[in-house]
Structure 1
Amino acid sequence: MAPVRTGLDERLEQLQSQLVDDLDEVRRIYALSIASLVKLDVGNVDEVIKARDQARKISWERTGDILLVLSLNQPMMGDLRMISTILRGADTVERANRHARDISMISQYLVDEVGIGRIPETLSDLIQKMADSLDRVIHVIAESVNDGTETDIEDLTGRWDDISQIWESCQEVISSTPGKDIGSKAGRLNLFKAISRIERTGYNFIRFASYWHHALKNEWISIGKQ
C-alpha cells in the first residue's frame, strides 16, 4: 500500500513559508539588539525581550504544526529529512531570539549597573561587522528556504570565517582595553559574553545550513571551520 501523502507537499511548503517569516523577524530583532550594544542605546531592549517570549511561543506552535503533518501523512524518507530540518530551523530561530535578548540585557546592564556611556569605537566597529556577516548568513538561508534551493556554500563559508576571525579580534580588544574604558571586570566579562552570543548564533545557523543541504541532497557537508 502506497504511503499517504495527500496534501503533504502543500503542508511542507507552508512550513517552509513560516520558517522564512521567522527568519526575517529574527533578523529584525537581532539588528535591534546589536544596535543596543554598539551604541549602548537601550531604547529597544523591551521590544527585544518581548520578541524572545513571542518566539518561544511560536516555536511551540511550529512544533505542533510539524507533529500534525506527521500524524496526517505517511512521509517518505525525503519528506522526513525536510520535516526534521524545518524543526531544526524553528529551534535555531528560537535560540537566536534568546541570544538577541541576552545581548540587549547585557547592554542594559552596562548602562545601568556598570555605568559606561559607550564602548570603544574599535570594538563597536568589529561587533557591527560581525553582526553584518551574521545577518548575511541568515539572509542567504532564508532565500534558500523560500525558494527550496541549495544555499550558496561559498558565501556562507566566507561569512562564517569572517565571524570567527572577528570574534577572536573582539576578544583581543576586550582583553587589552583599560578597565576604565570598558567598565572594569564586570564590563569586560559581559562584553565577552555578548560577542560569544553572536558567534554562537552564527554557528547555529551554519549548522542549520548543513542540515538544509542534507534535506535536499541526502549528503552531509561541513561549512567552514566548525
Structure 2
Amino acid sequence: MSPPPVRTNLDERMAILRGMMDRFFQMVHEGYTSTYREADRDVAFQESMELRSDAAAQAEHLAQELLLVLSLNQPLLSDLRIVAASLRSLDVLERLARHARDIANARRDWAERAKEGANFPIGISEGLDSMHNDVLELLELARACFVKQESVPVERILELHSSANKVFDETLEALLEESKSKVAGREGRMLLVTIARRLERSAYNLMRLFDLWNHAQTNQWIRFESMAHED
C-alpha cells in the first residue's frame, strides 16, 4: 500500500490563500456595488477602471500562489479539485470587474443623454436595480463557498438566477415596446441593453462557479444554471 501524500504546510497554505481570496471577493463586491450606485457617473467610471486593473493584478498574483501549492505539495484529488475551482473563481471575479467597467461606461454615456432630456424608464431602472442586487447576493454566496468552504445553497441560487433571468427578459421586452423618444433612440436602448446584458452575464458566470465548487466538494457535476431554466 503506497504511503499517503505529503501534506507539509498544505493546509496552512490553503488557509492563507482563502484569506487572500476573501479580500479579492470583497474588493470585487465593493467595486461592483459602488461603480453602479455612485451618483457621479464620471467618478463611477474612473473607479471601475481602477477596479478592472486591480482585479487583473490580484487574479494573476493569486493564480501564481495557487500553482505554487501544486508544485510544493502533493495534494489529494479533492485538493486538486478545490485548487482548480479556485483558479476558475479568479477568472470569474476578474470578469465581473470587466462587467462593472462596461456597466459604468454605459451609465456614464446615458447620463450624457439625460442632459439632453433623455428619460430613463422607471420600470426598467427598477428592473436593473433588482438584477444588480441579485448578482451581489450571488457573489456573497460564492464568497461563502470559496472562503468558508460552505456547501452550495442550491435553492437560494436558483431563486436568484431565475429572478435575474426573468427581469432580463422583461427588460428586453420593455425596451422593444418603448418609443424612441422615451429612451433616447436606438443608441439609448443599446446602452440599456448593455447594462442588462452585463448583469445577466455576471449572474450566469457565478452560476457556473457554483457548478465548479459543488464538483470540488462532492466530485459530482451538476449544472445549476440548467436547473434554473427548467424551473
Q: TM-score, normalised by structure 1?
A: 0.92
- Residue 179 of structure 1 aligns to a residue whose secondary structure is coil
* Residue of structure 1 in register with 2:91 after alignment: 91
- Greater Cα shift, 70-79 or 117-126: 117-126
Alignment check: 8 A CA contact 2:45 2:105 kept: yes
SS at match of 2:152: coil
Stretch deviating more after TM superposition (173-182 or 149-158): 173-182
C-alpha distance in structure 2 between counterparts of 1:161 and 1:43, whole Å: 32
Matched, 1:80 2:80: yes
Please say which of residues 198-207 and 104-113 is displaced more in the overlay. 104-113
Q: Is the 8 A contact 2:118 2:184 kept in 1?
A: no
Question: Over residues 101-147 of structure 1, what are the superposed CA-to-partner deviations in whole Å (9 max), with x where a residue is unaligned?
Answer: 00001112223368455511111100011111111111112122232
**Once the 2 structures are TM-superposed, how far is the Cα of residue 29 of structure 1 from its aligned partner?**
1.2
Render the CA deviation track for 1:27-61: whole Å, top value 9, x for unaligned.
1111123325xx68443221111111111111110
Deviation readout 1:177-197 (Å, 9 max, x if unpaired): 111221211111121111101
After superposition, where does 1:83-162 map in structure 2 within 5 Å? 83-112=83-112, 115=116, 118-162=119-163
> What number of residue pairs does the alignment pair up?
224
Which residue of 1 is the match for residue 13 of structure 2? 11
SS at match of 1:225: helix
For the 8 Å contact 1:120–1:182, the answer to whether it is kept is yes
Q: Deviations over 1:190-217 (max 9, x none)?
A: 2111110100000000110111111111
Does residue 225 (structure 1) correspond to residue 225 (structure 2)? The answer is no
Which SS does the other structure have where 1:219 is aligned? Answer: coil
Kindly report which structure 2 residues correspond to 1:20-39, keeping only aligned pairs within 5 A, or say none: 20-35=22-37
Give the distance between the partners of 2:98 and 2:179, measured in 1 at CA.
30
Question: How does 1:61-76 map onto structure 2 within 5 Å?
Answer: 61-76=61-76
Could you tell me which residue of structure 2 aligns to residue 176 of structure 1? 177
> Cα offset for 1:21?
1.8
Q: Percent same amino acid among aligned pairs?
A: 25
Q: Distance in 2 between matches of 1:167 and 1:219?
A: 30
TM-score normalised per structure 2: 0.90
**Structure 1: distance between partners of 2:176 and 2:17:** 44
Which residue of structure 1 lines up, in the alignment, with residue 59 of structure 2? 59
Measured in 2, the distance between the counterparts of 1:96 and 1:167 equals 17
**Is the partner of 2:220 in helix, strand or coil?**
coil
| 2:197 match | 196
Please tell me whether the aligned partners of residues 137 and 205 of structure 1 are also in contact (alpha carbons under 8 angstroms).
Answer: yes
* Structure 1 residues 108 and 116, CA gap change in structure 2 (3 angstroms): farther
Superposed CA RMSD = 1.9
Structure 1 unmatched runs, 5+: none
Cross-structure match for 1:185: 186
Q: How many angstroms apart in 2 are the aligned matches of 1:113 and 1:129?
A: 23
Structure 1, 178-187 or 88-97: larger mean CA deviation = 178-187
Cα distance in 1, alignment partners of residues 11 and 54 from structure 2: 28
194-203 or 168-177, larger mean C-alpha shift: 168-177
Is this contact kept in 2: 1:167–1:199, CA < 8 A? yes
- After TM superposition, the structure 1 stretch with the greater mean CA deviation from structure 2, 68-77 or 141-150, is 141-150
Q: Aligned partners of 1:154 and 1:202: how far apart in 2? A: 15
* Aligned counterparts of 2:40 and 2:134: Cα–Cα separation in 1: 21
Contact 1:19 1:89 in 2 (8 A): no
Q: CA deviation at 1:26?
A: 1.3
